[in-house]
Amino acid sequence: MEDLAQEVCVAVLLALPRYKDTGRPFEAFIFAIASHKVADLQRAAMRHPGWTAVPSDEMPERPDDSSAPRSAHCSAATPNGPRNCWPASPRTSAS
């Protein structure tokens, strides 16, 4: 993925002289370039079955859940009100 990000940055730098302000956000210009680079990567992967953008020795065995949101416990909604939710493991305040 780092190679893809680098390719997008280089492509944006090379395309800057051709950029014309047409009233669309500059981000749309960058997004178009990035989406074309992603499509190129996907086409290359389709041409070479078994090839991945990330080398298999760098791929983790399991997904990293450390940045995932903590799950919550919720009560069922009642006719008198919405569901009530609270964190799965309540935080203790440091006093």
* 63-75 confidence digits (pLDDT tens): 666 665 555 555 5
Beta-carbon contacts of residue 7 (< 8 Å; ≥ 6 apart): 37
Write out the two tokens for 84.
Answer: 């009530």
What single-letter amino acid sits at 66?
A: S
Write out the two tokens for 73.
Answer: 């416990």
Contact yes or no for 49/33 (Cβ under 8 A): no
Please choose, from the candidates 53, 38, 43, the residue with its C-alpha nearest in 3D space to the C-alpha of residue 30: 38
Q: What is the mean pLDDT of residues 90-95?
A: 48
* 2-55 confidence digits (pLDDT tens): 788 899 999 999 999 999 998 999 999 999 999 999 998 888 888 877 666 555
| pLDDT value for 31 | 95
* 73-86 confidence digits (pLDDT tens): 555 655 665 556 65
